[in-house]
Structure 1
């Protein structure tokens, strides 16, 4: 639901500024989705006057204008608009302004050899309309030099709020203003309903489908003159994204957004006989206003005359009977359609409209007469004509709804203690009528006895969502502010168990969620293996004396055999990319070991037009998964060291282990040994990894805690170094050595290039690293940077490295 700030203030008398209004809307449950001010992008466009207009010396269709823009000497502008002439007052884009239609930044330029400063603009270029036949022409007395948006009244923020399905009353600007007034942001202006002195009988309308259309009110206006709607109405409709069409059509749209009351106007010249709201006949066709034909059936309500169907009741009118430029006599329809019928029809036809969005929520059934009178008054005042009496067919469902209420329930249900008189004020400002006693004490035999309050609350006709006293509590708390509701934990009732997850189980939960979030599917395999599978992993420590079968005889020493068998089953069923993980136990003489394992096989990136060739997994993919899962488990990944010694299950040179020191192995990863992959029926490159959760150092009793976020006060400094080191030196060793060169200043070291070739001696390689330095309370001086650089070079020299020349 969109509306402008000035539009809101036609219903709400308030001095509140825009930020206050936005905060209040959010506080009372009308979530603000966005705010946009058209003037923000038109600040560089001013009112200017064309002083002279001469032909361009190099182009027949161009003119050279001299433009007074109210700021200094006149400027020369090249313009191709046919209506450009001396004396014209228009809109001028100054140098540096951005044209809304195409994003072009205006600057001084030469057009066919003639200097041009800025641009005279059309309506379309400023996205204020579709006219592009010429530049904008303003009234001769428009103030030259003033920002056009300010003069034209475009400095009017557009507010977009999200209206929940139960708040049908806020599908109009007036309903939103009512809520803000109830929240103390001003006073709701009285709505003026004109008295229409009709001439002659009303139109012939009736309803034969009281289930779908209980009430059908209508009035004719003869002798109207249709045309463009007034500027104030067109401006408001355009601001919320509605295209002005004609005065008659725009009036119905304006009332729908202003008051939440959809209407429809028929051209009486196209009607044959009276109008009736009835059920559709199977196979009947309606050419709707959107240019599409729809087939209705007997479950839908339509508006028809003696010859054809003209309207899908409450959703969309017909194309051939709508008001046109030459329309002189109109019939204004103001009907009530049941929400259930509207919703069902819209779903069947896959047809949405602004009218449907309101009718299926439920419009005010008591507003038919008033809505018809307001619409008639606007038609007569803007288009002329003579109105008839109103015809009222059927009866709208306006039965009173009374809710019994005790104001003390606000505290017991919502936990917010709102005084009874404040609750009464809030409800009254929302349109509820409150009668009854406020309670208190009365004396019985001289003894004071507490008497509960007993209110009878009449629900307004526009609030069909309010059914019982909890809804009344919701209204009170909503206006007081949802932020006032305390966050109070519910007491634990007897029989409800307390959390029983151990720290180890919580770690497994985090690892499981992280693996799933990274695109791995969880597998659950047997904890038993065949002797052959166990031997492939170095053998198992535990053999069952009475196994279920020979294939389930050994307690698994690794999770990989089960995952590899599952991978084979997926590949056999034409899976092109397999990403599996498992959390479980490995079994050794020393006991059970909590472990997470994964296998990646097949295509990492599928073959397509962008890459042409499918890409497989490699050892670096396995390393990335291992590091991510270790981080989820709470391991200090920044302190891990990479070692090459791994079990025989992995391919030498394409695998590694991550450790905390030489002895504490937290994970191993890499490309599986080809012989192991073949043993499980897999071809191609298969990568895998295992994280030894039991080896991760335990956390403090406080549990898994992230370090508090402490943004650095100054911007980091990055320096690149390239070192020539012997082939035997691992990149990880160089990174760790450089990190230790100045632990206070160096916060990160990253390898970004490895080079072997011309300029590098045989038996050596070039490693390029990026060192990130973080200043503390003050920026680094040149001397400090030189000292840190010297320390970095010295750290590399300890490994036999030297700066690359």
Structure 2
């Protein structure tokens, strides 16, 4: 919402400057995104008079002017404007002046061999309009040498205020002025409502055939008007608000919308056939809107139509066919109340936004139809002339008064501020509420007020949120308890461990496209109102987002990419906290001897998974490895780690079909860790045991076994570790050799003595148990 300071002062009697207004707006909950003064860029430009104008000796379309800019010294300026002539008073920019519309700084220059000291400016060059056919012409009595910005009244600050969806009353300058008056920054001026009786009956029948979508539709005709350009003051305000002036009728409807928050529409009466009604669209009906796009409608949408066709997408945008033009002499003015929910649904379906929609879907004031139409008609009669008809009313707006319980004591309890009861009442009354006993009558323009807490918020924000005293939260006596949940603690430990291992964290979108979702079994959850079609499905895997990050890094020359993400997968039953890992490129830099670099393999992914599971507190020593991680993964180069049927992680290479679809670099390996599958430690609630390192040194023994080709090394290590759980504290595979005799696996075991050192007999007994356990799997001790 943009407006100027002078515009605000049309509604607010105040002497406050722009800075004070901006600070007050922010203090009462209306966020000011920016304040700028267009005059600042035009300060160097001055009013100047052309003394002489002679033809350029080297160019027929150029003139050499002598210009008086008020310095007492005439300057020579080369000018190509067709209206440049002796005696003309215009706008001059001297050397060193920045021209905002052309984006360059003036300097002395020779143009076709003739020196030029600045330029006489057009409206476009000063960003005051689109006119570039000639230089600006000012009145002959304009003070030469004066600042053009001051002379033209351009010294007017422009505010840009972000209006939250609940503050529909502040979608007009009038509503913002009301809030500032309630905050004590001035006095709200009475709204000027012209009394327009009308001199003839409205020739157009107006009716409502869709009372659910359009409860009220008011209109009148104005004939004998002239639709020329709107006044300069109106055009300046519209430009400051980001609107492009078009014609008087269009500009007036836009101005009324911005001024008092009341959207309206003007139809060219010549293009209407028969009665005009608010009705439901027919499935398949089409309308060419004012944005020159055609929209196909359905039966849930409210439209304004005559006997021949649809002319308006109700409350959102008018149609091209019946729009007013420079030749319009008769117009039908429409002011209606549209149901907010219906407007929002229609706009979402059509993917169509407009200033009118932004107001109607928030909820405009249903009691402001008569006054709004009177204001609109008054401007048209003043600017365009003509004669107005009597008013036609169809339907009834929902203007039943709403009561909310007013409890002054709740302001201290909820808002944290002690405010006297009479002061609370005055604030609410200045905002338009009426206090009747223990009730507050809600004004018709405040659709967002529903309960006592809303009244507390109104009082609190007008007093100022900065007035709320700071108070520490109560703290229970004794030892503080941790506030983070187990899930949050696991995510923190995993994130730190991954970063410590040299992985870079990525944060990707939770939304992906349908094709990416299909690669991972499809997405059970689809957004009803997505950002785009490529971001419509809630991700069932973290891999698509990480793949996009990998490609982006690879395209920028990264040779070793190690990414991880801690996020959520969205499955049919729940959101699942997950760690995703992608490793691509070179694992090690090129070797100086042979110039080769080693890429990543599934064992690198396994190492990362085990390290992060260990950091998360998973019992990594008990995890079982199972080949193959599912249809998404490579059938021979992937595996899972789990405890029985409880899968904690999957790792390896993605299926070639998936890797190709995601456009991953060759040799990329991946992993997913399912954090919610990690079992809670049984010792979580127990006291920490005292650290007691073993008194005696551990010993190791190596065993090499000839094993069947299909025996998994993990099964062999697990069997050896279980041969004597009391004495064998660790077993690990350290060598694999395949020769003519077959496959050999070497395993190192660690024996930890307790109260006394092992005897040879005890070590021999443990060795026999190890060999026996291996033999049960078909292995034999290598000779």
Please indicate the TM-score interval, normalised by the length of the shorter structure: 0.5 to 0.7
Please say if residues 50 and 85 of structure 1, whose CA atoms lie closer than 8 Å, have aligned partners that are also in contact: yes
2:496 alignment counterpart: 511
Q: Matched residues in 2 for 1:208 and 1:550: separation?
A: 69
Deviation track 1:447-478 (CA, whole Å, cap 9, x = no partner) reads xxxxxxxx210000000100111111111111
User: Following TM superposition, by how much is the alpha carbon of 1:512 offset from its aligned partner in structure 2, in angstroms?
Assistant: 5.6
C-alpha separation between the residues in 2 aligned to 1:137 and 1:513?
Answer: 69
Measured in 1, the distance between the counterparts of 2:607 and 2:365 equals 74
Return the offset for 1:253.
0.5
User: In structure 1, what is the Cα distance between the partners aligned to 2:286 and 2:268?
Assistant: 19
Q: Report the equivalent of 2:57.
A: 57
Query: Which residue of 431, 434, 440 corresponds with 1:457?
Result: 440
Contact 2:653 2:669 in 1 (8 A): no
Contact 2:336 2:369 in 1 (8 A): yes
Superposed CA deviations along residues 53-107 of structure 1, whole A, max 9, x for unmatched, are 1111122221111111111301001111111111111111111111112320111
- Judge conservation of contact 1:44–1:96 (CA < 8 Å) in 2: no
Equivalence for 2:728: none
Matching residue of 2:4 = 4
1:419, CA displacement in angstroms? 0.9
**Contact 1:521–1:579 (8 Å) recurs in 2:** no
Deviates more, 1:484-493 or 1:179-188: 484-493
Q: Does 1:477 align with 2:460?
A: yes
Task: Tell me the distance in 1 between the aligned counterparts of 2:620 and 2:96.
Answer: 86
CA distance in 2, matches of 1:533, 1:247: 73
Partner residue, 2:103: 103
8 Å CA contact retained: 1:50, 1:67: yes
**1:345-394 Cα distance to aligned partner (Å, 9 max, x none):** 11111111100000000000000000011111111111111111101100
What is the 5 A alignment of 1:193-208? Answer: 193-202=193-202, 203-208=204-209
1:290 aligns with 2:374: no
Which residue in 2 is equivalent to 1:84?
84
Kindly indicate whether the alpha-carbon contact (under 8 Å) linking 1:280 and 1:296 is maintained by their aligned counterparts in 2. Answer: yes
- Tell me which residue corresponds to 1:600: none
Shift of 1:488: 3.9
Note if 1:361 corresponds to 2:362: yes
Q: Distance in 1 between matches of 2:504 and 2:325?
A: 59
1:67-146 paired onto structure 2 within 5 Å: 67-146=67-146
CA contact (8 A) 1:108 1:116 kept: yes
Rate the CA distance shift 1:314–1:571 in 2: closer, same or farther, 3 A.
closer
Asked whether the equivalents of residues 652 and 669 of structure 2 are also in contact (C-alpha less than 8 Å), the reply is no
Per the TM alignment, residue 486 of structure 1 is displaced from its structure 2 partner at its CA by 3.8
Q: For residues 631-654 of structure 1, give each alpha carbon's deviation from its aligned partner in whole angstroms, at most 9, with x where no partner exists.
A: xxxxxxxxxxxxxxxxxxxxxxxx
Residue 416 of structure 1 pairs with residue 417 of structure 2: yes
2-structure distance, mates of 1:434, 1:467: 15
Query: Post-superposition shift, 1:509?
Result: 7.3
Equivalenced residue count is 553
TM superposition shift of 1:524: 9.0
Once the 2 structures are TM-superposed, how far is the Cα of residue 485 of structure 1 from its aligned partner?
Answer: 2.8
Per-residue Cα deviation, 1:139-174 (whole angstroms, up to 9, x for no partner): 111111111111111111110000000000000000
| Partner of residue 32, structure 1 | 32
1:89–1:137 Cα contact (<8 Å) kept: yes
Supply the distance in 1 between the matched residues of 2:196 and 2:30 (Cα, whole angstroms).
35
Q: Is the 8 A contact 1:405 1:456 kept in 2?
A: yes
Alpha-carbon distance change, 489 to 267 in structure 1, aligned in 2, over 3 angstroms = same
Partner deviation per Cα, 1:672-691 (whole Å, 9 max, x = no partner):
xxx99x99xxxxxxxxxxxx
Q: Is the 8 A contact 2:505 2:564 kept in 1?
A: no
| Residue equivalent to 1:569 | 653
3-state SS of 1:366 partner:
coil
Instruction: Give the 5 Å matches for 1:610-689.
Output: none
2:262 counterpart of 1:274: no
TM-score, with structure 2 as normaliser = 0.66
Instruction: Flag the 1:547–1:395 CA change in 2: closer, same or farther, 3 A.
Output: closer
Matched, 1:428 2:416: no
Give the corresponding residue for 2:600: none
- Identify if the C-alpha distance between structure 1 residues 209 and 533 changes in structure 2 by more than 3 Å, giving closer, same or farther: closer
Counterparts of 2:316 and 2:3, CA distance in 1: 22
SS in 1 for 2:132: coil
Distance 1:500 1:278, change over 3 A: closer
| CA separation of 1:147 and 1:413: change in aligned 2, threshold 3 A | same
> What are structure 1's unaligned runs of at least 5 residues?
437-454, 538-543, 553-561, 592-674, 680-805
Residues 499-521 of structure 1, C-alpha deviations (whole Å, 9 max, x = no match): 1779x999847736966546731
Q: Is the 8 A contact 1:167 1:465 kept in 2?
A: yes
Paired residue secondary structure (1:200): coil
Among 463, 468, 472, which residue is 2:451 paired with?
468
Structure-to-structure mapping, 1:617-766, within 5 angstroms: none
The CA deviation at 1:494 is 12
- Distance between the aligned counterparts of 1:36 and 1:142, measured in 2? 26
1:148 equivalent to 2:131? Answer: no
Find the counterpart in structure 2 of residue 683 from structure 1.
none
Alignment partner of 1:409: what SS? helix
2:158 corresponds to which residue?
Answer: 158
Q: Residue in 2 aligned with 1:345?
A: 346
Q: For 2:279 and 2:391, locate their aligned partners in 1 and report how far apart those are by CA, in whole Å.
A: 20
Distance 1:174 1:516, change over 3 A: farther
Deviations 1:106-138 (A, max 9, x none): 111111111110111111111111111111111
Change (3 A) 1:506 1:360: closer
3-state SS, counterpart of residue 141 of structure 2: coil
Query: Could you tell me how far apart the structure 2 residues matched to 1:477 and 1:545 are?
Result: 55
CA distance in 2, matches of 1:408, 1:172: 32
Give how far 1:423 is off. Answer: 0.4
Alignment match, 1:776: none
Are the equivalent residues in 1 in contact too, given 2:580–2:671 (CA < 8 A)?
A: no
Unmatched segments (≥5 aa) in structure 2: 508-562, 566-578, 582-602, 612-618, 628-640, 642-648, 679-690, 695-733, 739-783
In structure 2, how many angstroms separate the alpha carbons of the residues matched to 1:14 and 1:549? 77
- CA 1:315–1:581 in 2, change beyond 3 Å: closer, same or farther? closer
Determine the structure 1 residue equivalent to 2:393.
392
1:745-799 Cα offsets, whole Å, 9 max, x none, are xxxxxxxxxxxxxxxxxxxxxxxxxxxxxxxxxxxxxxxxxxxxxxxxxxxxxxx
CA distance in 2, matches of 1:374, 1:324: 21
Matches within 5 A, 1:176-325: 176-202=176-202, 203-325=204-326
The 8 Å contact of residues 166 and 448 in structure 2, kept in 1 or not, is answered as: yes
Cα distance, 1:322–1:581 mapped onto 2, change above 3 Å: closer
In 2, the alpha carbon distance for the partners of 1:214 and 1:496 equals 62
SS at match of 1:457: strand
TM-score calculated relative to the size of structure 1: 0.64
Q: Structure 2 vs 1, CA of residues 429 and 548 (structure 1 numbering), >3 Å: closer, same or farther?
A: closer
Please give the per-residue CA displacement for 1:1-27, whole angstroms capped at 9, x wherever unaligned: 000011001101111111111111111
Q: Kindly indicate whether the alpha-carbon contact (under 8 Å) linking 2:223 and 2:330 is maintained by their aligned counterparts in 1.
A: yes
Give the Cα–Cα distance (whole angstroms) in 2 for the partners of residues 566 and 332 of structure 1. 67
Q: Does 1:521 align with 2:558?
A: no
The structural deviation recorded for 1:344 is 0.8
Give the distance between the partners of 1:5 and 1:85, measured in 2 at CA.
37
Q: CA deviation at 1:569?
A: 3.0
Q: CA deviation at 1:280?
A: 0.7
CA contact (8 A) 1:271 1:321 kept: yes
How much has 1:334 moved relative to structure 2?
0.9
Q: 1:580 to 1:126 in 2, by over 3 A?
A: farther
Q: 1:512 to 1:60 in 2, by over 3 A?
A: farther
